[in-house]
Amino acid sequence: MANGPAGALAPALLQERRERVFLVLAGTFLAAMTLLNVIGITRFIQIGPMALAVGVLPYPLTFLCTDLVCELYGKARANFLVSVGLGLNFLILAILFLGDAIPSVPAGQMPPWQILQLAAPVALPNGDVVDGSVGLYQLIYATTSGAVFASMLAYIAAQYCDVQLFHFWKRVTRGKYLWVRNNFSTLMSQMVDSVMVVTVTFGAAFLRGDIAFQALLVLIGSNYLFKAAVALLDTGPFYLAVRYLKRYLQLGEGEYAVPGGAAASPAG
């Protein structure tokens, strides 16, 4: 039953609405992050001048989601979401290691599609060199486990950096100029992410001489250029989402959508 001003929801119904929106934002964030780790560097694609690992495609969504959570739910909720994502990274790594550690079924009982025939020796991202044939899981493990580890390091640095910078710019601008905190926090944190994830993922290959320094720079530049372009393009959708969701969540001026309607401040 509604109470208060026309259109206002009862407190319990309003809080349920707010938690549902948070669940959608959190689910989108975690799905994009998990997808990044699953497909990782399994394929590289060419978009104009940019050479990108396919896992980069969903990643900008994570920054959009954390910025929306920062704006609508506050710094504590955003940090909580990032911490949950970090825990999922550990879970993904643990399952990958477990799957690699458990013995395979005998070769004769293995489905034929689990074995790939190689035309020439191939150096895998984890340093192994395989010749003749390779198990499908071995290939996935080699291309994914290192990428997940690199993603974890970059994730810790970039996502927490994004939350801190968002509220730093909010404090500097005294809560005004939404585009400033949205863009400057994302652009700066994605630079950290791009440098870390590429150098950690391909650092060993570079030291072995399997990848040239110039190629490493191209990967970092392409990675960042794509993320920066998407970050700038999502400014409009970010403004529209904030405007609509603040009405939908019935947020007053300087209020977060948390239990009790905790007040926001320019300092975040």
Instruction: State the Cα–Cα distance between residues 131 and 60, nearest whole angstrom.
Output: 37
Asked if pLDDT for residue 94 goes beyond 70, the answer is yes
Residue range 166-225, pLDDT digits in tens: 888 888 888 888 888 888 888 888 888 888 878 877 776 677 777 778 888 888 888 888
CATH code, residues 11-99+139-248? 1.10.1760
Positive or negative, the CA dihedral 28, 60, 214, 51 is positive
Supply the pLDDT for residue 8: 75
| Residue 227 contacts residue 193 (beta carbons within 8 Å) | yes
Q: How sure is the predictor about 28, in pLDDT bands with cuts at 50, 70 and 90?
A: very high
Asked if pLDDT for residue 3 goes beyond 50, the answer is no
Contacts of 190 (CB under 8 A, 6+ apart): 60, 63, 158, 224, 227, 228, 231
Contacts of 73 (CB under 8 A, 6+ apart): 22, 256, 257, 258
Residue range 133-157, pLDDT digits in tens: 777 777 777 777 766 777 777 777 8
Per domain, the residue ranges of the chain are 11-99+139-248
Supply the pLDDT for residue 268: 47
pTM of the predicted model as reported, rounded to 2 decimal places: 0.78
Asked if pLDDT for residue 36 goes beyond 50, the answer is yes
Whole-number Cα distances in Å, 170 to 33, 236, 243, 258: 25, 18, 17, 19
Supply the pLDDT for residue 156: 79
Asked if pLDDT for residue 49 goes beyond 60, the answer is yes
Asked if pLDDT for residue 108 goes beyond 80, the answer is no
Radius of gyration over every alpha carbon of the chain, rounded to an integer in angstroms = 22
Q: Are strands 122-123 and 129-130 parallel, antiparallel or unpaired?
A: antiparallel
DSSP the chain: ---SSTTPPPHHHHHHHHHHHHHHHHHHHHHHHHHHHHHTTS-EEEETTEEEEGGGTTTHHHHHHHHHHHHHH-HHHHHHHHHHHHHHHHHHHHHHHHHHHSPPPPGGGS-GGGEEE-SS-EE-TTS-EE-SEEEHHHHHHHHHHHHHHHHHHHHHHHHHHHHHHHHHHHHHTTT--HHHHHHHHHHHHHHHHHHHHHHHHHHHHHHHTSS-HHHHHHHHHHHHHHHHHHHHHTHHHHHHHHHHHHHHTT--TTB-SSTT-PBP-TT-
